[in-house]
Structure 1
Amino acid sequence: MLVYGDRQHTADPRALHAAIAARLARAATLPPGLERHAVLAAALIEAGELAQGIADADYAARGLDELSLAQDWAMALLLGCAGGLHRSWHDGAVAVPEAGQCLLRLPERIDTRLAEGFAFYALYPETYALAAEASGLPAATRVIGLRSIGAPLAAMVATGLGSRNPATLRPAGHPFRREIAVGPGLASSLTPGAPVAVVDEGPGLSGSSFGAAADWLAARGHPRGAIALFPSHAWPPGPMASPDHRARWDGMARHVCSFEAAVLPRLAGWVADLTGAAEAPPEDIGGGAWRRGPAEAWPPAHPMQERRKYLLAAGGRTWLLKFIGLGAEGERKADRAARLAAAGFAPPVAGLRHGFLVQPWLEEARPLDPAAIPREVLAAQVAAYLRFRARAFPAGPGRGAGLDALHAMARHNAAETLGEAAAARLDRWSPRDLARLAALARPVETDNRMQTWEWLALPDGRLLKADAVDHHAAHDLIGCQDIAWDVAGAMVELDLDPVLPVDPDLLGLLLPCYCAFQLGAWTMAQEAAPDAAEGARLRRTAGRYAARLRAALGA
């Protein structure tokens, strides 16, 4: 199934360095505390993007990873940010690092990749330095980060160990069979048999990035006992891991400091200025635990893809704390949430605190039951929401899949599930048709989640969108689309006729594409179901999208 995609942006490295300098200058003006700490985290993330982009530009030019002065400069800046963030975690009064100047010749443009762990999965870079501190590894350990996110995480591990001069590598190739190419200069800088720490998030389905690095180190004469892994969780690689990589994983030391150990104990204190004093520990409602009532009536959930979220009893009421992203990603999402709330389309926003959006929990709200609302009322409220979204959140180029990519996804997913004959019905859209429709599309920051369980019904009849800030920038291939994508979503999820006047030919293409994407997403979720009951819910959901796709194709 085709579901996931990378978020890649082109940037001027000098402008990115100037933005980091501005972050650090702002941090220097703030008093010690969480706000300054969050600004330091944002600077680290952006310095990680700079280091990753420069290293990837070198990799693209040479076809392998090798030492360079530009990479050394970027890593020195990144280490400075990591040191400042780590010391701030322990002592908020620490001095703020400076960005300095760059006198080197940098690439004109670099490609930076969104660090998904920081944006979606509450991966706090501070935990990697804490894991390094507790590891017992010597300061002489050579730290290797696996790009993309491995660049800033390696800087945090090096800071925690007191190590200097970490390196980064780019695993490339098939997602389940990554390989590493290293030049002689970088290779010779690693002493065979000396202790090495390999740093990345994951492992995921295969753990092949960690596996590729371990393969290369083993070929260089590093025994398993000399290789330590710094992953983002304590679980082994998933079912697509090779037997060799799984065996090697089991034989290497692994060092993890979990969110629950490091961040969760501080969370209530972080938000206390907004919520008042906590009356009980935060209650985890992530991973599907937000569902209430009889289990047989629960909507489906994909626990591995859900954001962290908690209920907090504080100040005489209940609050929702939801992770929306560290650094600039979180700032953008918080601004979007506030604008939606001000327009009356989303719950109120109290503030953002180091990645967590703070909102009052609306006890009186209930999940949407479309049958309980007159269709014309439901259609009018959905139309007003989508009209506002299309006007308020325009998207620049390259922030979503093109129509050709959506068409290819739909054809692939349809063939996988319905067969080639059904998928062939998508061939009625020729490349010329797709180009013509692409010229009509006006991408915006679409909602991309129109399911009934994403809406809240208030006692006065108003509807609020419960989760509307970041699915256009999620870890999938859809991204920003013409508002017709959400119109198609409302047709499928809420059984409405088109609620806005959109081009009928464009809608005619996007409707099967929407069904095919949802079919792929929920089919893959089913493969990772945590138990039989969730698996059954996911199977029924995937089956519903298969039926809608068949109908949309006339198959």
Structure 2
Amino acid sequence: MGGAMLVYGDPKRGERADTLCEAIAARLREVDGRPPGLERHAALVGIFIKAGELVQGLSDFEFETLGADELSAGREKAGVLLLDLARLVAQSWSSGFSGHLALPDRIWALLQDLRASRPLSIKEGEGYAFYALYPECYMEAARRSGLGANTVVIGLRSIGTSLSAAVAAAIGAAAPVTLRPVGHPFRREIHVGPVLSQRLLQDRTADFVIVDEGPGLSGSSLGSVADWLEEHGVSEHRIHFFPGHGGELGPQASEDHCKRWAERPRHVVELDELVFGAHRPHRLAAWVSELVGPLGQPLQEISGGGWRSVLACSRHSWPPADPRFERRKFLAHASGGTWLVKFAGLGDIGQRKFEKARLLAKAGFTPPVAGLCHGFLVQKWVTAAPLAPSDFHGAEFIEHLGRYLTFRARRLPQPATRGATMAMLYEMAIANTEEALGEAVATRLKSRLSDGHDLPMVPVDTDNRLHPWEWLAGDDGFLKADALDHSAGHDLVGPQDIAWDIAGATIEFDLSPDEAAALRAIVSDGCSRAVDAKLQEILELFYLTFQLGLWSFATCGAAAEEVKRLDSLVARYRELLLRRLEEGAGQVRSRRDSLP
């Protein structure tokens, strides 16, 4: 189950080239005045990532205009800018974050030349946001590769834009070329203009490296570039890959791509090797100890559902987990207590979550925050028992939940990207229902949703993760765990009207109509606008169908013990969806029966 369900999203944000150039220049001036250390290095990586977004946006703008990737003066200048910044990151990393940063003079002229008043579509790198993929990993892999300075470096947009610059900087190569794979996700292809094609193929002795995150289900993006190179006379022995992990291609990969993947060099240095090595300035434990004091033991890995082993409950009572959507996380044991060290994101991504965490903690909704160390957020680990089912129905909890949702709607900054529209949620709901429950039930759902398309929505930074196991009873009241990631996750929902969270709470806590109305009233009063009960009703159906797809997907490849938990959760969402559809049909019949 889950093959045809809609779960994943692909959010983008709009930016202007001139605004991005100004922001990069301002940050460079600021970081140039900082003292050496990890904070300066992390800020420099953030600038590098933002410059990668600028180059990606400019390149995609030209690609959309021409229908192909082609050389241009603007793209060449953008590539040089990004390579200069990659060299600064490499210098900072290799020096152990010490020494003076020597900013090349031409950086300022390049930024000035790229300041066009041009709208760009920017896609944040998933590896930087979710999967703890560090540019420094690619630099280390490149240094060990033995590749020479005449290597042709090709990055795949989006994230491959900056990752390829990291590789080029490490081996002393020229600025990389970036390409945009297009087409079906499992059968990507590239379109290369004649001038760029000639440039790529001019050195018949050069090696080629293809740089991207992944591979995912098929690896067809990486494979499409290798296909093109071989079709244009490049020997397969000159092709190298720089992927995001050392694993194999996914189950949707073609036989030819699998054969090539097994035979060609793959240059990978993963996070564990990068930040758990012997060199102290690069060790994650050293970064954390600067915030919380000396650690009494090595960092304790609790990723991939491992966090459940340290909960105050038996294994029999463990909640379900889906490692695909989990961030890397560890426990740090210091004399002052235990701390959660969780990947929050590099650059602006991590900084936004850090600021959000501080706001929520200061308001008493989440545990205290110690700081952010190059992508990892350090937050107090609270050992507390999960709430009992009856706790969620108490007036005290509903009041607290209402204040929490109000705070998110009114006090958290506006999200950087937009969430799914009503039309997208509708498409997801019908597809997931038809896959899980059949065409007849999907038809009934269409009828229920027929009058909800034009309801107004006010997107805010919703929680999107109100499941019962995410709540703790602390010494000073209720605390929310995992409150930072899910409105900007890898799924399709994204930021929504605060009614989405009210709908989620109603489903997750099985609130009665009166309890849901009380929660809605608290949030409406706090937000100074009425939360539409009809909108909440529609969003409850969307929420159920999304959760049905999300957790159905999670069963694929899960261990037998985990599948039992997941199946139980999926069955609950399925039953609740059917019940709501039946209740809705009953209400329609009652209205019809009352007609004269």
Give TM class, smaller chain: over 0.9
Q: Which residue in the other structure is 1:452 paired with?
A: 468
Are 1:382 and 2:397 matched, yes or no? no
What secondary structure is seen at the aligned counterpart in 2 of 1:257? coil
CA contact (8 A) 2:415 2:461 kept: no
CA contact (8 A) 2:17 2:114 kept: no
Q: Which residue in the other structure is 1:288 paired with?
A: 305
Letter in 1 for 2:473: A
The counterpart of 1:473, out of the listed 472, 475, 488, is 488
CA contact (8 A) 1:285 1:311 kept: yes
CA contact (8 A) 1:87 1:94 kept: no
Q: Which residue in the other structure is 2:548 paired with?
A: 519
Q: Which residue in the other structure is 2:190 paired with?
A: 180
Over the matched positions of the two proteins, sequence identity in percent amounts to 49
Letter in 2 for 1:13: A
Letter in 2 for 1:134: R
CA contact (8 A) 1:407 1:426 kept: no
CA contact (8 A) 2:70 2:192 kept: yes
Q: Which residue in the other structure is 2:575 paired with?
A: 547
Q: What does 1:379-418 align with in structure 2 at a 5 Å threshold?
A: 379-393=398-412, 395=414, 399-418=418-437
Are 1:483 and 2:495 matched, yes or no? no
Are 1:97 and 2:97 matched, yes or no? no
CA contact (8 A) 1:193 1:222 kept: no
Letter in 2 for 1:392: R
CA contact (8 A) 1:395 1:480 kept: no
Q: Which residue in the other structure is 1:309 paired with?
A: 329
Question: Residues of 1 paired with 2:417 and 2:213: CA distance?
Answer: 26
Are 1:167 and 2:177 matched, yes or no? yes
Letter in 2 for 1:165: A
CA contact (8 A) 2:60 2:180 kept: yes
What secondary structure is seen at the aligned counterpart in 1 of 2:355? helix
Question: Residues of 2 paired with 1:471 and 1:96: CA distance?
Answer: 39
CA contact (8 A) 1:370 1:378 kept: no
Taking structure 1 as the reference length, the TM-score comes to 0.95
Are 1:117 and 2:127 matched, yes or no? yes
Question: Residues of 2 paired with 1:16 and 1:394: CA distance?
Answer: 19
Question: Residues of 2 paired with 1:534 and 1:193: CA distance?
Answer: 51
Letter in 1 for 2:266: R
Question: Residues of 2 paired with 1:488 and 1:174: CA distance?
Answer: 34
Question: Residues of 2 paired with 1:96 and 1:553: CA distance?
Answer: 65
Residues 19 and 398 of structure 1: CA distance in aligned 2, closer, same or farther (over 3 Å): closer
Per-residue CA deviation, residues 82-107 of structure 1 (Å, 9 max, x unaligned), is 11111101112142425313235746
Q: Which residue in the other structure is 1:436 paired with?
A: 454
Question: Residues of 2 paired with 1:298 and 1:175: CA distance?
Answer: 35
The counterpart of 1:261, out of the listed 258, 262, 273, is 273
Q: Which stretch has the larger CA shift, 188-197 or 282-291?
A: 188-197
Report deviation, 1:224: 2.2
- Rg larger for: 2
Question: Residues of 1 paired with 2:117 and 2:215: CA distance?
Answer: 31
CA contact (8 A) 2:387 2:473 kept: yes
Residues 373 and 403 of structure 1: CA distance in aligned 2, closer, same or farther (over 3 Å): closer
Question: Residues of 2 paired with 1:196 and 1:208: CA distance?
Answer: 17
- What stretches of structure 1 move > 4 A for 4+ residues in a row? none
Report deviation, 1:238: 1.2
Report deviation, 1:382: 1.4
Q: Which residue in the other structure is 1:355 paired with?
A: 375
What secondary structure is seen at the aligned counterpart in 2 of 1:189? helix
Residues 400 and 230 of structure 1: CA distance in aligned 2, closer, same or farther (over 3 Å): same
Residues 399 and 380 of structure 1: CA distance in aligned 2, closer, same or farther (over 3 Å): same
Question: Residues of 1 paired with 2:84 and 2:428: CA distance?
Answer: 42
Letter in 1 for 2:428: M
Q: Which stretch has the larger CA shift, 261-270 or 406-415?
A: 261-270
Per-residue CA deviation, residues 326-350 of structure 1 (Å, 9 max, x unaligned), is 1111111111111001111000111
Gaps of 5+ in 2: 278-282, 522-530, 586-596
Residues 297 and 193 of structure 1: CA distance in aligned 2, closer, same or farther (over 3 Å): farther
Letter in 2 for 1:209: S
Residues 180 and 107 of structure 1: CA distance in aligned 2, closer, same or farther (over 3 Å): farther
Report deviation, 1:57: 0.6
Letter in 2 for 1:357: L
Per-residue CA deviation, residues 16-54 of structure 1 (Å, 9 max, x unaligned), is 011111111111111110010011000010000001001
Q: Which residue in the other structure is 1:207 paired with?
A: 219
Letter in 1 for 2:334: A
What secondary structure is seen at the aligned counterpart in 2 of 1:290? helix
Report deviation, 1:522: 0.9
Question: Residues of 2 paired with 1:538 and 1:169: CA distance?
Answer: 39
Residues 142 and 377 of structure 1: CA distance in aligned 2, closer, same or farther (over 3 Å): same
Residues 193 and 415 of structure 1: CA distance in aligned 2, closer, same or farther (over 3 Å): farther
Taking structure 2 as the reference length, the TM-score comes to 0.89
Report deviation, 1:369: 2.3
Question: Residues of 2 paired with 1:348 and 1:245: CA distance?
Answer: 48
Report deviation, 1:493: 1.0
Letter in 2 for 1:553: L
Question: Residues of 2 paired with 1:197 and 1:111: CA distance?
Answer: 26
CA contact (8 A) 1:394 1:443 kept: no
Question: Residues of 2 paired with 1:424 and 1:260: CA distance?
Answer: 49
CA contact (8 A) 2:449 2:538 kept: no
Aligned length: 549
Question: Residues of 2 paired with 1:110 and 1:277: CA distance?
Answer: 45
Residues 320 and 197 of structure 1: CA distance in aligned 2, closer, same or farther (over 3 Å): same
Q: Which stretch has the larger CA shift, 510-519 or 294-303?
A: 294-303
Residues 373 and 541 of structure 1: CA distance in aligned 2, closer, same or farther (over 3 Å): closer
CA contact (8 A) 1:127 1:262 kept: yes
Question: Residues of 2 paired with 1:551 and 1:226: CA distance?
Answer: 60
CA contact (8 A) 1:142 1:195 kept: yes
Q: What does 1:106-255 align with in structure 2 at a 5 Å threshold?
A: 106=116, 108-191=118-201, 192=204, 194-255=206-267
Question: Residues of 1 paired with 2:563 and 2:81: CA distance?
Answer: 46
CA contact (8 A) 1:522 1:541 kept: yes
Are 1:44 and 2:48 matched, yes or no? yes
Question: Residues of 2 paired with 1:45 and 1:36: CA distance?
Answer: 14
Residues 256 and 476 of structure 1: CA distance in aligned 2, closer, same or farther (over 3 Å): same
Report deviation, 1:396: 6.2
Are 1:64 and 2:68 matched, yes or no? yes
Question: Residues of 1 paired with 2:502 and 2:303: CA distance?
Answer: 28
Question: Residues of 2 paired with 1:400 and 1:316: CA distance?
Answer: 39
Letter in 2 for 1:82: A
CA contact (8 A) 1:27 1:96 kept: no
Question: Residues of 1 paired with 2:553 and 2:465: CA distance?
Answer: 17
Are 1:342 and 2:362 matched, yes or no? yes
Report deviation, 1:147: 0.5
Question: Residues of 1 paired with 2:339 and 2:77: CA distance?
Answer: 44
Letter in 2 for 1:272: S
